[in-house]
Every structure is written in structure tokens, then in C-alpha cells.
Structure 1
Amino acid sequence: MPEPRPQEQPRPRTAEQARPAAGGWAQQVQQLAQQQPAAAASSSEVAAPWKPPKDDPFLRAAQEQGRPASLGRRLAARLIDSVVLGAVVSAVAVPLWAKAVAHIDDKVAQAKQSGETVTVWLLDGTTGTYLAIVVGVLLVAGVLLEALPTAKWGRTLGKRLCGTRVLDIESHDTPRFGAALRRWLVYGGLGALGIGVIGALWCVFDRPWRQCWHDKAGRTFVAAGKR
């Protein structure tokens, strides 16, 4: 009776035999990686880059809005605004000036009648009150005619007639009320100190935005715009 053969034990699979499964996945990844640059190259050849039209109305409007206005238009606009502001202030200042002159004449006449050497002060409680009223009217009129229109529309009456407008130096948009008020106060203060002409003529030499001193204080510039 033949002896039974011992059953052969299954041999363990080596790393080389187990590699084909992993190798197939790696080959797929490598093939995909090779296909992506080719697909990207083919798509770049097919898709042409977008080019803006030669005549872009939005770009043209933005360039026109941000271009500094000519000095002639700026000067004409300032003259118109100065005439309007001067007319408003003069309507109050002229009658008060006549009253102040009459008051000083009365003080001089009383000093002569006293027969004594008396110092007549031009500025007293009466004339000081008149002066304060004129300064107050100037400030209020400047806010109403200069600061508010600049903050709301970017332009005063003179700038509207001459086709210019005030813009913020950074956003190229209408300035805020604080900037418009600061711009006006610096302009009026320099004028009161007697150096307003120097501050206004600074735009002749300033580059690139042609700013005056009050423009630099308000961080604004005067741009060319439609009427």
C-alpha cells in the first residue's frame, strides 16, 4: 500500500509577485501626469487670450476723469467762485463797515471836544462785534458755497461752468466733507495771511497732479470733467 504524499504548503508570494497590482496603479498615475501637460498645451493653443477692444468707453471715461484740469479753466473757476463769495460777504460787510466808520468818527469827535489827549482805538467792543459778524458770514458762506458742493458733487458753481471738478487723490471720487472743509479752510486761511497767491500758484510747478497747497491739505486734485 503506497504511502500518502505530504501535501505541499502554499508558497508565500514575494514582493516581485505582488508588485504588478501596485505597478498598475502607479503606471496609471504616471500616464495621467503625462497627459495633463499635453492637454494644457493643446488647450492653450486653442483658447486665444481675451483682448479688450481698441476703443473702450469705460477706460476712456476713467482716463478723462483722472486727468488734471488745465490751469486756465482752474483760474476761471476760482474767479467765478471768488466773485460769488465776495458778493455774499459784501452784502453784509458794506453796511457794517459804514457803521464802524461812523462809530470811529463819533469817538474822534468826542475826544476833540474833551480837550485832552485821548487814544482812540479803532478796534473796540462795537467794531470788534462787526468784524466778528463779517468773519462768521465768510465762514458760513464758504461752507455753503465751497465745502458742501465739493463734498456732494465735487464741484462748485465756478467749476461746473468751467468743466472741472475736485476728486480725491487716491480714490478719484468725490471727496468727503471733512476733506472738502479742510481744503476750504486752508485756502481761506492762507488768503487771510496774505500768502494765498503763493499757495494757489503752487499748482504751476507741482507734478503730476498740479495740486495747490489747499489741495495737498485735503488730499484732492482738480480734474477735467464734463460740464
Structure 2
Amino acid sequence: MSGSNGSLLAMTTPQPPDGGGPYYHPPSDTETTEAVGGMPPLAGLGKRLTARIIDIAIVIVIAVPFGLIAFFADRHDRNLVSFVGSLSAMLVAFVYEGLMLTRSRGQTVGKKLMGLRVAVLADGSVPEGSPGWTRAAVWGLPGAIVCGCLWWAIDGVWVTWDQPYRQALHDKAAKTVVVEAR
């Protein structure tokens, strides 16, 4: 490339704040099947939603026994049963998401079934350590403050208008994206 074209490219390629390599660039609408910069294309919304529904179902199945224990321990205190049920769902969601992302190559069960994975935005790597647990915390823990279902709905629909990376709020916090697994 000539110097002026190279300079123009450098000016239009956003760089991560830490000075590392260029951020991942999602494919344009016309090139959705091609990898860009060595990273697979962003996951489609339908696949992401299906993967999340599967993961939420798993969290509910794991959390229900805790709510049942609270129910049978004190059937008259509905507030306690509700609190224990909400708290257990929030904690199960956090641990499930964190362990799966950091120990299963960036994939939860739902993402594995749908052929997706989570990637670090800056370099496409698996979100091991802090990015995986940050993503899990922002997905699972706000349910303690805001009704869990309401938080998950807001967080989940965020991808429908976020551009250019289609990130949910938990993706933004962890600087991750959801891509096709190859």
C-alpha cells in the first residue's frame, strides 16, 4: 500500500485502549459468512437467543431444588421462599456462566449446541480468567438488585440495537463478543 492509503487505514481502524492490535471488525451485511481478521463472524441473533434459552433452562433446573428446600423448610414465609429462589438462581447463573466460559473454550451448553462461542473482542481468544468471570457477574448478579427476569430481558435485547458488535451489556462489561464456533 502507498503511504497515504496506509495512513487512512490506520486512522479508520479503531485500536484498543491498551495499545494492542486492532479490535475485531465484524463482517458487513454482505460478507456474513467470511471471517474477518482471522475471527469467525458474529453469531446470529436467533442462534444467540436459542443458546441463552437453553442456558436459562439449565440454570432454572439447577436452582429449583434450592427453592423447594426453602419452601419445605418454611411454607408460611413466602418472602423467604421467594428470596431463596431468586438468590439461588442468581448464584447458579453466575457460577454456571463463569465456569463454562473459562473452562469450556468460551462455550456454555447452549452455545455448544448452537455452534457458538464467546471471544475476547481485542484478539478473539477464549475469555479465560477475568473476562469470563466479569461477563458471568454482569449476566447473573444484577438479578439481586433488579428482578432477575427483568435484568435478563434488558441485557438480552440490548444485542438487537448494539452496533457494530451486537454486544449484550455483559459483553460490553467484559469486552467480549459472541461468534460462530469453528
TM-score bracket, normalised by the shorter chain, equals 0.5 to 0.7
Stretches of structure 1 that go unaligned for 5 or more consecutive residues are 1-59, 105-121
Give the corresponding residue for 1:148. 99
Structure number with the higher helix fraction is: 1
**For residues 32-89 of structure 1, what are the alpha-carbon distances to aligned partners after superposition, in whole Å with 9 as ceiling and x for unaligned?**
xxxxxxxxxxxxxxxxxxxxxxxxxxxx666674311000000000000100111010
Give the corresponding residue for 2:10. none
CA 1:61–1:208 in 2, change beyond 3 Å: closer, same or farther? closer
The structure that has the greater radius of gyration is 1
Q: Which residue among 101, 106, 131 is the counterpart of 2:75?
A: 101
Instruction: Measure the CA separation in 2 of the matches of 1:90 and 1:68.
Output: 33
Q: Which residue among 109, 129, 138 is the counterpart of 1:157?
A: 109
8 Å contact kept, 1:85–1:142: yes
TM-score when scaled to structure 2? 0.68
What number of residue pairs does the alignment pair up?
144
TM-score when scaled to structure 1? 0.56
- Sequence identity of aligned pairs in percent? 27
8 Å contact kept, 1:77–1:158: yes
CA 1:70–1:76 in 2, change beyond 3 Å: closer, same or farther? same
Give the corresponding residue for 1:179. 131
Stretches of structure 2 that go unaligned for 5 or more consecutive residues are 1-33
State the Cα RMSD in Å.
2.6
Residue identity opposite 2:47 in structure 1: R
Equivalences for 1:65-104 in 2 at 5 Å?
65-102=39-76, 104=77
Instruction: Measure the CA separation in 2 of the matches of 1:164 and 1:171.
Output: 17
CA 1:136–1:83 in 2, change beyond 3 Å: closer, same or farther? closer
Specify the SS of the correspondent of 1:101: coil
